[in-house]
């Protein structure tokens, strides 16, 4: 891995988790702690992170917790269109799992008016959105808190799904590609997402087209883990051809009317 690629992955990991220690990064990227410290100096000079003793934190990481805002708010019209398409799939008496993430959060905003469903989520912002509706049976996992994604993660969050069954999972991703499969910046999320998939009868992946044929650091698994991809109408013909030729089922959401 080139130094620039490693630094990019380090930043993505810190942006996802909110912080990371030098020792952890050294182990994950299989380089010396001296190399990691130099990488962190470079990222701090780029005004992306703030170095602290033993590691680094995302710049202004406290803002996300105080304002209950998500770090990733790009491509919102596409995400809202995807959420509207996903909303059509939720039926009364369904038990659904909502993963953390900005696109799934848009789905939660639509579901807040629905009654007679059970929602299981590891996203605290989604729990607060849906918690205002007493007609929704809301269940929140335990786990370690991550400020940039307002989510609970790690082994305790994964163990929560043992013995649970859901009709549908609405899953988020950082990257989706034919060769690399489903990928994420954070290793701690992998076990949670696997547990969600194993607990669900049907898995819907909500991913805007900017994430297609993109890869992040940690691999969850092949695309066969997903039953249906819901993406936006901006997917180009080459990406669509790859999906078709590899047997990936997908739905293209119609653009929202302005």
pLDDT at 28: 86
Distance CA 154, CA 213 (A): 26
* pLDDT value, residue 203: 98
Mean of pLDDT values over 51-76: 80
**Residue 71: per-residue pLDDT:** 65
Of the candidate ranges 97-106, 183-192, 223-232, the one whose mean pLDDT is the lowest: 183-192
**Overall average pLDDT of the 89-110 stretch:** 96
Does residue 186 register a pLDDT over 90? no
- Mean pLDDT value of segment 13-40: 89
**3-state DSSP percent of the chain in helix, strand and coil, to 5:** 40, 25, 35
12 pLDDT tier (thresholds 50, 70, 90):
confident
Residue 230 has pLDDT above 90, yes or no: yes
- The per-residue pLDDT for 20 is 87
Q: What is the pLDDT of residues 194-203, one digit of tens each?
A: 999 999 999 9
What's residue 201's pLDDT?
A: 98
Q: Is the pLDDT of residue 258 over 80?
A: no
The residue-averaged pLDDT of 76-101 equals 96
User: At residue 92, does pLDDT exceed 90?
Assistant: yes
**Residues in CB range of 58: below 8 A, 6 or more apart:** 14, 15, 18, 19, 48, 49, 50, 71, 147, 148
Q: Quick one: pLDDT at residue 15?
A: 82
pTM of the model: 0.87
Rounded to whole angstroms, how far apart are CA atoms 151 and 145? 6
Residue ranges in the chain assigned as alpha helix (H): 3-17, 22-29, 33-45, 62-67, 76-87, 102-111, 124-130, 155-159, 190-198, 237-245
Using alpha carbons, select from 142, 209, 210, 220 the residue that is nearest to residue 186. 220
pLDDT at 87 > cutoff 90: yes
What is the residue-averaged pLDDT of the chain?
91
What span, in angstroms and rounded, lies between the C-alpha atoms of 230 and 79? 10
């Amino acid at each position: 891995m080139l130094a620039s690629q490693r630094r990019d992955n380090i930043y993505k990991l810190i942006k996802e988790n909110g912080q990371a220690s030098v020792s952890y990064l050294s182990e994950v990227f299989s380089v010396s702690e001296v190399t990691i410290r130099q990488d962190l100096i470079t990222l701090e000079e780029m005004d992306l992170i703030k170095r602290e003793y033993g590691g680094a934190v995302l710049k202004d990481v406290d803002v996300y917790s105080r304002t209950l805002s998500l770090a990733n708010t790009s491509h919102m019209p596409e995400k809202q269109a995807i959420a509207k398409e996903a909303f059509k799939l939720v039926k009364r008496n369904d038990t659904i799992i909502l993963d953390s993430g900005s696109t799934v959060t848009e789905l939660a905003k639509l579901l807040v008016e629905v009654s007679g469903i059970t929602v299981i989520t590891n996203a605290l912002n989604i729990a607060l959105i849906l918690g205002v509706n007493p007609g929704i049976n809301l269940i929140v996992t335990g786990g370690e808190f991550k400020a940039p994604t307002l989510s609970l993660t790690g082994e305790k969050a994964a163990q929560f799904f043992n013995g649970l069954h859901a009709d549908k999972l609405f899953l988020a991703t950082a990257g989706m590609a034919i060769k690399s499969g489903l990928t994420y910046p954070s290793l701690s999320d992998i076990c949670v997402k696997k547990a969600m998939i194993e607990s669900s009868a049907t898995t819907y992946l909500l991913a805007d087209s900017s994430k297609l044929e993109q890869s992040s650091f940690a691999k969850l698994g092949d695309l066969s883990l997903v039953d249906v991809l819901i993406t936006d109408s901006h997917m180009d013909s080459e990406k669509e051809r790859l999906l078709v030729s590899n047997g990936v089922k997908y739905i293209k959401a119609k653009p929202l009317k302005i």
